[in-house]
């Protein structure tokens, strides 16, 4: 290690919980606890898992207009829309969107969450959460491109408004009941919404979202309250701490992209099969980086597509494995692959020529020099179980 690794506010707690720590995106992070990846994965699908994702970048993107007005929201949203292809201006108060930061070639610089705050007083501020490995570049880009139009207030020690903040994810079928028991009101919160809550005098920003395919929450909390809040969640018998290893296998089963692997500077959102990030109005109007390429691909189809892959047998195909057609031509490459504990079988995702992207297409994955038979498969591999409001009435 040439550079010293950063630690999250939960570092000592991870050690106390028996975590195995590894370097990840410049941080010392828990890859697993004493139960190990397999049990942690299954526990999250059956009960609730607590993840420390404090390494991710949190910031507020703020209009220079006086806050608390629709005008200020429109101003901040219009500015951010110059870097992302999603609908930000018409986001409802308290609603969040998954989006991507684009380069001029229509490649993905990072994926992120963009949230419009619920409170009237906070209008004109957009809460963004970006990947740890990209955050310095993302923030520098936003300031360089939009510094004249808006202020980026990163959630660090210098931030007088929001402070330095930890981010904890609670995921799994028991997550809502557990969080409700210490932060009443969250159980009825809509999917993809953020609401402010209070816990023991600490302000929480509770978002109903996640990276596992399960119902769950991501909770932003000032770092001085992070350990207490994490301990309060872990005190519940349905909650166990879960490391990055299971976080990866859970998101792979859910068919979700990992930046730097399934998404990068060369992949467009259309190729990545996340065309839903394009807002309807944005498709018509353009006005985002790489719009020419992206709208063309949206209209006539991309050259290649991200697909799911199901190898036969038990051998996993890992990132970098070549994908061949049945007649032995290279048609793509695996970008994420491993073993799916919930399916007790290997799964992968990768990019293939668009002509070979249909579900059920027979392919071969080259593993240790040998062709491993596999088929293109629908994603998610494990059905999403996100919270839907309608469930209350059925």
Partner 1 sequence: MKKYTEDHEWVSVEGDTATIGITEHAAGQLGDVVFVELPAVGTKFKQKGEMAVVESVKAASDVYAPVSGEVVAVNQAIADDPAKVNADPEGASWFVKIKLSSRSELDRLMDEASYRKLIG
> Where do contacts with partner 1 occur on this chain (CB under 8 A)?
31-32, 36-39, 41, 245-246, 248-249, 314-316, 318, 338-339, 341, 346, 368
Minimum distance, C-beta of residue 254 to partner 1, in the bound complex (Å): 15
| Inter-axis angle of helices 244-253 and 37-46, nearest 10 | 60
Residue nearer to partner 1 on the CB measure, 9 or 346: 346
Rounded CA separation 103/363 (Å): 32
Minimum distance, C-beta of residue 108 to partner 1, in the bound complex (Å): 24
What is the full DSSP assignment across 42-94?
HHHHHSEEEEE-TTSEEEEEEESSPSSSHHHHHHHHHHHTTT-SS--TTPPTT
Residue nearer to partner 1 on the CB measure, 212 or 249: 249
Minimum distance, C-beta of residue 4 to partner 1, in the bound complex (Å): 23
Rounded CA separation 360/151 (Å): 48
Minimum distance, C-beta of residue 339 to partner 1, in the bound complex (Å): 4
DSSP letter assigned to residue 113: E
Rounded CA separation 172/40 (Å): 11
Residue nearer to partner 1 on the CB measure, 179 or 340: 340
Minimum distance, C-beta of residue 41 to partner 1, in the bound complex (Å): 7
Residue nearer to partner 1 on the CB measure, 124 or 338: 338
Minimum distance, C-beta of residue 32 to partner 1, in the bound complex (Å): 7
Q: Quick one: 393 exposed, middle or buried, by C-beta within 10 A (0-12, 13-18, 19+)?
A: exposed
**Helix (H) / strand (E) containing 38:** helix 37-46
CB 294 within 8 A of CB 316: no
Residue nearer to partner 1 on the CB measure, 111 or 253: 253
What tokens does 165 get? 């903040």
Residue nearer to partner 1 on the CB measure, 49 or 124: 49
**C-alpha pair distances (Å), 214 with each of 64, 168, 172, 184, 249:** 37, 15, 5, 20, 13
Residue nearer to partner 1 on the CB measure, 249 or 273: 249
Minimum distance, C-beta of residue 371 to partner 1, in the bound complex (Å): 14
Minimum distance, C-beta of residue 335 to partner 1, in the bound complex (Å): 16
Distance of CA 88 to the CA centre of its chain: 18
Residue nearer to partner 1 on the CB measure, 226 or 244: 244
Minimum distance, C-beta of residue 345 to partner 1, in the bound complex (Å): 9
Minimum distance, C-beta of residue 247 to partner 1, in the bound complex (Å): 11
What tokens does 53 get? 């994702």
Which residues have CB under 8 Å from 339's CB, separation 6+? 249, 314, 316, 345, 346, 347
What is the full DSSP assignment across 216-270?
EEEEEEEHHHHHHHHHHHHTSTTEEE--HHHHHHHHHHTT---BTTTB-TT--TT
Residue nearer to partner 1 on the CB measure, 211 or 339: 339
Residue nearer to partner 1 on the CB measure, 158 or 314: 314
Rounded CA separation 57/53 (Å): 9
HSE-CB at 269 with a 13 A cutoff on CA atoms is 29
Phi, psi of 158 (to 5 degrees): -85, -5
């Amino acid at each position: 290690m040439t550079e010293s690794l950063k630690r999250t506010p939960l570092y000592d707690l991870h050690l106390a919980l028996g975590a195995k720590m590894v370097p990840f995106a410049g941080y010392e992070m828990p890859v697993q606890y004493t139960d190990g990846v397999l049990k942690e994965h299954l526990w999250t699908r059956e009960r609730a898992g607590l993840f420390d994702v404090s390494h991710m970048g949190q910031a507020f993107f703020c209009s220079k207009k006086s806050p608390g007005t629709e005008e200020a929201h429109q101003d901040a949203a219009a500015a951010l829309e110059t870097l992302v292809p999603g609908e930000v201006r018409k986001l409802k108060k308290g609603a969040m969107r998954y989006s991507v930061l684009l380069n001029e070639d229509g490649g993905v610089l990072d994926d992120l969450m963009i949230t419009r705050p619920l409170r009237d007083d906070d209008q004109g501020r957009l809460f963004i959460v970006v990947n740890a490995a990209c955050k310095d570049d993302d923030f520098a880009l936003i300031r360089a491109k939009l510094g004249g139009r808006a202020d980026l207030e990163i959630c660090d020690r210098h931030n007088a408004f929001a402070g330095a903040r930890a981010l904890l994810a609670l995921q799994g079928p028991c997550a809502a009941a557990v969080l409700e028991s210490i932060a009443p009101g969250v159980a009825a919160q809509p999917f993809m919404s953020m609401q402010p809550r209070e816990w023991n005098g600490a302000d929480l920003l509770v978002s109903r979202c996640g990276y596992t395919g399960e119902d769950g929450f991501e909770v932003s909390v000032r770092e001085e309250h992070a350990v207490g809040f994490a301990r309060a969640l872990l005190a519940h018998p349905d909650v166990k701490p879960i490391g990055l290893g299971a976080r990866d296998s859970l998101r792979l089963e859910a068919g979700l992209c990992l930046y730097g692997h399934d998404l990068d500077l060369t992949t467009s959102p259309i190729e990545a099969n996340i065309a839903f990030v394009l807002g309807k109005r944005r498709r018509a109007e353009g006005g985002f980086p790489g719009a020419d390429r992206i709208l063309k691909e949206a209209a006539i189809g991309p050259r290649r597509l991200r697909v799911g892959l199901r190898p036969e047998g038990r051998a996993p195909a890992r990132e970098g494995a070549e994908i061949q057609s049945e007649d032995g031509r290279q048609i793509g490459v695996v970008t994420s692959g491993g073993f799916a504990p919930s399916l007790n079988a290997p799964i992968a995702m990768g990019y293939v020529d668009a002509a070979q992207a249909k579900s059920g297409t027979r392919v071969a994955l080259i593993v240790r020099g040998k062709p491993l038979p596999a088929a293109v498969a629908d994603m998610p591999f494990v059905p999403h179980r996100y919270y839907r409001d309608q469930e209350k009435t059925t």
